[in-house]
Amino acid sequence: MDKIYLNKMAFYGFHGVFPEEKKLGQRFLVDLILEVDLKNAGETDDIYQSIDYGLVYQVTKQVVEGPSKNLVEAVAEDLSAELFSHFGLLAACTVKVIKPDPPIPGHYQSVAIEIHREKS
């Protein structure tokens, strides 16, 4: 399957299990891999045979900057469901949600979760 990548989209959300995360918020980065047959798009040069990256960004922004969740796993599930509801050509997606600055002790670049979902 062909793939569209959207990498390191940055948002500010209020997700987390700690009260300060819900009150102060924090940065979230999102990577997406969208699996879609792009043969017709490539042959016809027609945007309607592909997926509009700008609209993908807007859908992602609405979810990540939307209602607070305890877990980034829930954010990823909501995002995958929204992507499938908006894009009929989407066959599968991989959603990676990254918390660059989680409030946990230690030295690391970030923490992240990644899910892969297929059209049912």
Q: Tell me the average confidence (pLDDT) per consecutive run of 10 residues in the chain, 120 residues long.
A: 98 95 95 98 96 98 98 98 98 97 86 96
Enzyme catalytic residues: 99
**Backbone angles phi and psi of 99, in degrees to 5:** -105, 105
For the CA atoms of 66, 69, 71, 74, the dihedral, rounded to the nearest 10 degrees, stands at -70
- Predicted pLDDT of residue 85: 98
Task: Name residues whose C-beta falls within 8 Å of residue 116's C-beta, 6 or more positions apart in sequence.
Answer: 92, 93, 94, 95
- Predicted pLDDT of residue 108: 85
Collapsing DSSP states into helix, strand and coil, what is residue 97? strand
**What does the domain layout of the chain look like in residue ranges?**
3-118
- Predicted pLDDT of residue 120: 84
What are the CA-CA distances from residue 11 to residues 30, 31, 55, 58 (Å)?
8, 12, 15, 11
* DSSP secondary structure code for residue 49 in this structure: G
Q: Give the right CATH number for 3-118 from 3.90.550.10, 3.40.50.720, 3.30.1130.10, 3.30.1490.100.
A: 3.30.1130.10
- Predicted pLDDT of residue 103: 84
